[in-house]
Amino acid sequence: MRKWWKEAVGYQIYPKSFYDANGDGVGDIRGIIEKLDYLQDLGVNLLWLCPVYKSPMDDNGYDVSDYYGIAPEFGTMDDFRELLQEAKERNIKIIMDLVLNHTSDEHPWFQAACQESSPYRDFYIWHPGKPGGKEPNNWGSFFTPSCWEWHEPSQKFYMHIFSKKMPDLNWRHRPMREKLYEMARWWLDLGVDGFRVDAVAHLERQWDLADSSKSGHGPYREDWGKFSNLPKVHEYLREMHEEVFSKYDIVTVGEVGGDAGIDAALNYAGPGSNQLDMVFTFDHCWMNRGWNSYESGWHNRTDLYWLKQTFKKWQTGLYGKAWNPLYWLNHDHPRVMSQYGDPENFPKESGKMLATALMFMWGTPFIYNGEEIGMTNPNYEELSDYKDQSTMEKAQRLLDAGHDPKLVKRYIQTTSRDNSRTPMQWDDGAGGGFGSQTPWIKMNPNYKQVNAKQQILDKDSLYHYYKKLIALRRASHYKDVMVYGDFALFDEFHPNIFAFTRHYQGMTLLVACNFFAETAYLGLGPLALKEEVASNYPDANVYEGTLCLRPYEAVVYELKN
């Protein structure tokens, strides 16, 4: 079925780092308003804003202390209303981040819940622990070794699967759920067009709280299954859908995260699931240089085989059954340029190649702010330049375990969530045009070479290439095949080239992307090219049924029937 959000091109904004209009070193809503013309010009028409609610900012806003208020560093509710209005005038829709798994410990609910007699007590998860003052079980949180924090006044632990300043909400408690539904309706009535639902896989826990015996695949993650994708999550989401989402013409994208397979995704967003419209899963965001690299020595060459298999799994597994969001990264991942591109030797070519692969796959694209100009990981030399507390905890833990500090630094440079959170590089002036003050996190020093202003002037830039592909997707002869066409790998086991076809109602496209700095050849076999749709080199190179793809070259052709 056709839907506005299937045909939209999304753009994720990390407000803290997007544009600082009031010069306090922190991006803000007014900054987003000022850049709406830039976004309209780029062609995107669906913005996802990371949280802008009131928050002590322990986790940059994912620790909400007032769901109905805007953090003063980001502006006011009037600013937000103006943003909605200004966006509407440009036909740009806005979805908010909806944080349902936890609040801040500074949220009035939690403050009240600290009293045992409070009606809010059961909004959170409390436990007396094991004899001897020990934690109730051995589960780790995503950020800390234990997911339990001792609360001295009530002589109990409370649960937090993220930071200890983010106590988990108790979804078994219907009055709590009602409060969240009421809040979600309030934002929808204000005019937002949907939600990205944070940490949605974790709303339920295994309530016997039995110790985990599973061996893990990284620090803290061995207990994943004890609070992820449990059946009850779907009951809750169906209820929320029934009481909230189904009443509006909106889009919802759930953050389901790593390790979820096709069946899990279908449980959330498949036919008749009546929960969410699509889910973010992260298999391809960590493929290259994550934990495995740390353990196996650093390999810098993209594992194209696995990348292709991953895309095949999602692109074919969900097609015709659910909808797919398309993204190279979110705000928790390394920059795609640093992961799969070649920013030193082929910034333009590899950036455009990655844009081609993304924009021609099946699903709704979400471009991450700065991706359209090829921003990279900052590779800070000093660990103290990293600000994300989960990064700092991780670094400390590895150092405490005796790992070589050089390797730890490399690991952090490669994997830190701050990689995607450095200030947007608007121009080559002082501070990269982000704002007048020193930003809250150090600017990537490459802003002199990599910035929006210079790319807008250069008609051959990555920015203009993105703009062109966005326009093709939104309104062109190829729109339907790009949005609704099926996906099939072509020459599946080619070691250097990611090639696939998209087919829809009598039209077929061939997309071929060379992921490496060596020239590679793709035999076309029975395929006959009709006309070029996009390419990142000035002249395509086809010779006797073979595509010759130079370093990071990408081409898209319409095929003859």
49 forms part of the interface with ligand NOJ (CB under 6 A): no
255 binds ligand NOJ (CB under 6 A): yes
Residue 255 appears among annotated catalytic residues: yes
Options 59, 255, 388, 553, the catalytic residue: 255
What residues pair up with 511 in beta bridges, in sequence order?
Answer: 500, 556
Please give the single-letter amino acid code of residue 33: I
> Residues 59, 149, 349, 371: which binds ligand NOJ (CB under 6 A)?
59
Q: What single DSSP character describes residue 14?
A: -
Tell the residue number behind the tokens 């993204």, with chain if given. Answer: 327
Name 47's Cβ contacts closer than 8 Å, sequence gap at least 6.
10, 11, 12, 13, 32, 39, 87, 92, 93, 94, 95
Q: Which is nearer to ligand NOJ, 14 or 245 (CB)?
A: 14
- For residue 480, the Cα-to-chain-centroid distance in whole angstroms is 25
Question: What is the bridge-based pairing of β-strands 507-514 and 554-559?
Answer: antiparallel
What sign results for the dihedral spanned by CA atoms 283, 385, 38, 24? positive
Judged by beta carbon, residue 331 or residue 502, the one nearer ligand NOJ is: 331
Report the nearest approach of ligand NOJ to the CB of residue 59 (Å).
5
Cβ within 8 Å of residue 501, ≥6 positions away: 487, 488, 490, 508, 509, 510, 511, 559
CA atoms within 13 A on the CB side of 160: 23
> Rounded to the nearest 5 degrees, what angle is found at the Cα of 263, between the Cα atoms of 171 and 306?
120
Q: Should residue 168 be labelled a site residue for ligand NOJ when binding is judged by CB under 6 A?
A: no
CB atoms within 10 A of CB 453: 16
Closest CA to 27 of 370, 392, 371: 370
Q: By CB under 6 A, tell whether 199 contacts ligand NOJ.
A: yes
From residue 297 to residue 336, the character string flagging contacts with ligand NOJ as x (rule: CB under 6 A) and all else as - is ----------------------------------xx----
For the CB of residue 155, give the shortest distance to ligand NOJ in the complex, in Å: 27
How many residues touch ligand NOJ (CB under 6 A)?
9
Q: How far apart are CA 264 and CA 200, in angstroms?
A: 12
Q: Which of 19, 53, 62, 220 binds ligand NOJ (CB under 6 A)?
A: 62
Minimum CB separation of residue 62 from ligand NOJ in Å reads 3
Backbone angles phi, psi at 239, to 5 degrees: -65, -45
x/- letters, 76..115, toward ligand NOJ (CB under 6 A)? -----------------------x----------------
Asked whether position 149 contacts ligand NOJ by CB under 6 A, the answer is: no
Assess whether 198 carries a catalytic annotation: yes
Nearer to ligand NOJ by Cβ, of 255 and 553: the residue is 255
The nearest distance, CB 321 to ligand NOJ, in angstroms, is: 25
* DSSP secondary structure string for all residues of 325-339: EE-S--TTS--HHHH
Task: Give least dist CB 323 to ligand NOJ, A.
Answer: 20
Task: Decide: is 162 part of the binding site for ligand NOJ (CB under 6 A).
Answer: yes
Residue 58 as a binder of ligand NOJ (CB under 6 A): the answer is no
Shortest reach from residue 99's CB to ligand NOJ, in Å? 6
Q: Which is nearer to ligand NOJ, 99 or 395 (CB)?
A: 99
Between helix 347-360 and helix 462-474 the angle, nearest 10°, is 10
- Please identify which of the residues 28, 149, 168, 198 carries the catalytic annotation: 198
**Does 198 sit near ligand NOJ (CB under 6 A)?**
yes
Identify which of residues 59 and 204 has a Cβ nearer to ligand NOJ in the complex.
Answer: 59
Residues making contact with ligand NOJ (CB under 6 A): 59, 62, 99, 162, 198-199, 255, 331-332
Catalytic residue ranges: 198, 255
